[in-house]
A and B are shown apart, each in its own frame.
Chain A
Amino acid sequence: MDPQNSEPQGLAGQPISRRRLFEVGGASIGLAALLAACGNSEAPAAGRVGNAPVATDLPDAVVNDIVYLRTMTSLEYSLVDVYAVLAGLEGLPTPTTDALTRFTADHTANAAALAQLTTDAGGQPYECGNAWMMGRAFQPALDNILGKGRDGDTPAITPTDDANRDTLAMINGLETLAAATYQGMVEKLSVPPVRAAIIPFGAQAARHAAAIAIIAGGEEGAARYVSPVLLGAEPDAEATFPTAYAIPTRFGQLTPIEVTIGAENDLGLRYKATFETPADNAYIYDGEVCA
């Protein structure tokens, strides 16, 4: 076909005259105007691709004393779970294994007591670990002690170069976390007798942490009694492994707890786990059941 002399062709291959072109064009514009007038003015919804189910709004979850009690129970079970893993490490000295055994028994008893408090309050006890805290804080820390193979794009994790050092650091961090959790719960719980019922668990966890700090000092345990910061010294910001002290602060703190563990990576750095007291995402709401 000669492009210089071509004419517009109709669907049937017939030439379209200039008059016919104006007629069709005018009708199209009129039809478009009619459709626009019949439509509403709302913005169209985003398009959907595939067969995804229709999204439904999440229900509002109530936060009350029962939720707090269930959450505390879950933390106790999490500590028992973590300690079971740590107790399986080879080469831990007797003071460390003795502490793990005793603390596991204490947390098991605490979990049972908290479950009973939940029942007494009219709630359903939650008798397993806290999946949120385990998945985001505790398990990654354990991975850096035990080591972990390559997982897709995630590189392998080298096992720790000092199992006892990291076990003691983990225990100190977790017990400090438990103490802070109970301390914070006193502020949240609405019924004074329930506050008094749970704070002994915090006091006990604080003593666990203090005992571990002294045990970690070995023969120099007395040097771990009081943080030098309380005696007016500057904290050692250069230390690779922050030293745990039996009396680290003047008041119990609710701030995140950082624990340095694991072997050095290629950059010469070690893993820093951060443990935070349970908040909204870590609460065990009514209706949640153990997986």
Chain B
Amino acid sequence: MDNPAAAPRSAPPSEPPVTDPAATVPAGTQPDLTEPLSSAPAGTEPAGSAPAGSEPAGTEPAATTTTVPPSRPTADDIPLLAFAQSFELTLRDLYDEAIGAGVAEGDAGPVFSTLRENHEEYGNVLAGIIGTDAPQRRDDAIFDQFVSGFQNADVVGVASAAYDVESTAVATHTELIGQLTGVDAAATLAALLVIESRHCTVLAHLAGNGEDMAALIENAATALPATAPAEG
């Protein structure tokens, strides 16, 4: 069975970005979306469909010049990923505040502890991609912005505060995906973002909004600007 705690695929952190020199475009230019990335025989039916995420076996790259996104983060990606990692560790620390205040002692305890563990693991995975440049600490500015809602044992209050910051995290990671060049990091953010979105639904329900479909499934939060992690 699948390991539910397994991190998505990622390359070793210390390798430099790999870019096909014959497949780059000048900085600042938009690649042509009509350019082929690979070719596959249309209408062919191999035994079973190809596994998700795989490219067709035995096919050759198209002969025309194309842009292949690098797998590893570029130099410009590193500060963005550092911000994402510090955001995740901020979320972990916020849940620690609530758990320390006693919110985990009730029936909802496993929920909050799971969310805390998830964010810590997201921080670890991002650190693996960033390498030695990983900040490995929370962003104190974000922490200070949200911490008051976490410093109590009231489940509804903490769930409401957590809903806000989780929604902000999803919006922020979405923005970062649009700025990252390296595929590995973008894919990792996507893999954690879809689960953080599920966090939001659970928190909305836990906060007493289970009858409000909009609260369960809509995200109206605004992304935070990516900045260097602030220290208190």
Given contact pairs A250-B118, A281-B45, A186 touches B4 in the complex (Cβ within 8 A): no
Contact A247 B114 (CB under 8 A): yes
In contact, B198 and A192 (Cβ under 8 angstroms): no
A247 to chain B, nearest CB (A): 5
Q: How large is the interface on A (under 10, 10 to 19, 20 to 34, 35 or more residues)?
A: 35 or more
Contact flag A183-B50 (CB < 8 Å), given A196-B178, A247-B114:
no
Docked Cα-Cα span, A64 to B62, in Å, equals 10
Q: Check A231 against B194 for contact (C-beta < 8 Å).
A: no
CA distance A81 to B51 in the complex (A): 25
B201 and A211 form a contact (CB under 8 A): yes
CA distance A194 to B93 in the complex (A): 32
Q: Return the CB mask of A52-70 against B: 1 if under 8 Å, else 0.
A: 0000001111111110000
Question: CB < 8 Å: which of A123, A222, A252 contacts B33?
Answer: A123
Q: Is B101 an interface residue (CB 8 A)?
A: no
Chain A, residues 177-213, CB within 8 Å of chain B (1/0): the string is 0011011101110111111110110111111111100
Does B111 belong to the interface (CB within 8 Å)?
yes
Number of interface residues of B (CB under 8 A): 78
Residues of B within 8 A of A179 (CB): 194
Q: Is the CB of A60 within 8 A of B180?
A: no
Q: Check if B105 is an interface residue, CB within 8 A of chain A.
A: no
Residues of B within 8 A of A123 (CB): 33-34
Among the interface residues A60, A188, A203, A279, which one has the most CB atoms of the partner chain B within 10 A? A203
Measured CB to CB, the closest approach of chain B to A226, in angstroms, equals 5
CB within 8 Å of A: which B3-43 residues: 4-8, 30-43
B35→A64 contact, CB < 8 A: yes
A282 contacts B by Cβ under 8 Å: yes
When distances are taken between beta carbons in the complex, the residues of chain A under 8 Å from B180 are 192
Q: How far is the CA of A205 from the CA of B201 in the complex (A)?
A: 11
Cβ–Cβ < 8 Å partners of A58 in chain B = 41-44
The reply to whether A214 and B33 form a contact with Cβ atoms under 8 Å apart is no
Interface residue stretch chosen among B82-90, B141-149, B209-217: B209-217
